[in-house]
Amino acid sequence: MADNQDKINVFKDAIKQNLGPVWKYLDDKTVSEILINSASEIFVERKGKLERVPESFADEDTLRAAINSIAQSVGRRISEEEPRLDARLPDGSRFAAVIPPCSRKGSTLSIRKFTNSKISFGDYIKLGAISEDAARFLDVCMFLGKNILVSGGTGSGKTTLLGLLCSRIPKGYRVIVIEDASELQIEYEHVVFFETRQADGQGKGEVSIKDLLKSSLRLRPDRIIVGEVRSSEAIELINAMNTGHKGSMGTVHANNPDDAMVRLEALAQSGDAKISEKALRQQVTSAIDLIIQVSRFSDGSRKVSHISEVRGCLPDGTYDVVPIFEILDMKRTPEGKLEGRVEATGNIPSFMDEIVDNNLPFPRAKFTRAA
């Protein structure tokens, strides 16, 4: 613990010395992300909305020196030969940078701040991100061990929701969490965290999500959680879900539930697995039970917009994704905020008998569409 605190202190000193113009925003709890597009152009995100700030760096050389210093403070390097950097900082924040010649306007970086604030489903409901019935339905799905894919765009709140779902896993399971950079905050009795490692300057030592997924299968997991599925590791997760690891979950970048299935299939195809398109689709539909779509709306709010069940493939080969809950009516208030509740669509989940057999307090009437 002390060693990690020492690293955090070194990092903070490097930030104060080198990123002076934006230090106050790093210390501002209302700011969630800092975006530096060039030495003279800086934006911050507050409550989901971007705003430009007046601060700037003296010149490109000053900004570049700041990036180099921070990279060194976490044992990494960035140069014209390796112009990209994506790292987790000692305090848990995410640091990403691209420098010239790849970045045309000058050195560009973002710092997505890590927050220690923990929220419950109750808080999530109060924030208007989900309705009470939809939250209870997800609780039911976690109890039944449904495999879930959380879909959404960048900054839509996928990781937050995934962490909430993990906190609702019933007791008695061994959970293995795999992430590119540790972000998930999970309150659970038996959980193991794995984090990928990038290659060193000689291109050696890389450990990918796919590598960690393969290792995790030999470590007796009950449920596997992948922070973000973004490459060929998709096929490994699909295989795990289809071989007894009920209740596994992951996130994927997609704009709606149907696109999420297509993206997962495409990612699985990008691997070296020799499998026909038809067979792969059958595996994907067998693996995924539910898709939860989270969206960031124009007023900066983040909400669950769809909870959909995957029921196989339609005769034309497309995925049969049926909405169980969704936002049916969004309205803008005079203050400019968007209001809308996630409500039942009238579709009954195919596993309704499981809900009844397990005496779970979620009656069929809860799926009735409001008049």
Cα dihedral: 320, 280, 177, 47 (round 10) = -40
Q: Give yes or no on whether 2-112 and 121-367 have one common fold.
A: no
Three-state DSSP class for 341? coil
Cβ neighbours around 311 below 10 Å, total: 15
Domain 2-112 indexed as CATH 3.30.450.90:
yes
* 294 has a pLDDT exceeding 70: yes
Model confidence at 120, in pLDDT bands (50, 70, 90)?
Answer: confident
What's the confidence (pLDDT) of residue 1?
46
Contact between 148 and 163 under an 8 Å Cβ cutoff? The reply is no
Angle at 286 between CA 169 and CA 360, to 5 degrees: 40
Residue in 305, 309, 313 with CA at minimum distance from that of residue 280: 313
Q: What is the Cα 160 distance to its own chain's centre?
A: 7
Give the phi and the psi of residue 19 in degrees, each rounded to 5. -115, 40
pLDDT in tens, 156-201: 889 899 999 999 999 999 999 999 877 887 888 899 999 888 777 6
Side chain identity at 53, as an amino acid letter? V
pTM: predicted TM-score of the whole model, two decimal places: 0.84
Domain ranges of the chain: 2-112, 121-367
Q: What is the CATH number of domain 121-367?
A: 3.40.50.300
Write the pLDDT tens digit of every residue in 32-84.
899 999 999 999 998 778 999 999 999 999 999 989 888 887 777 888 888 99
The closest alpha carbon to 216, from 180, 249, 183, 178, belongs to: 178
Mean pLDDT calculated for residue range 284-291: 97
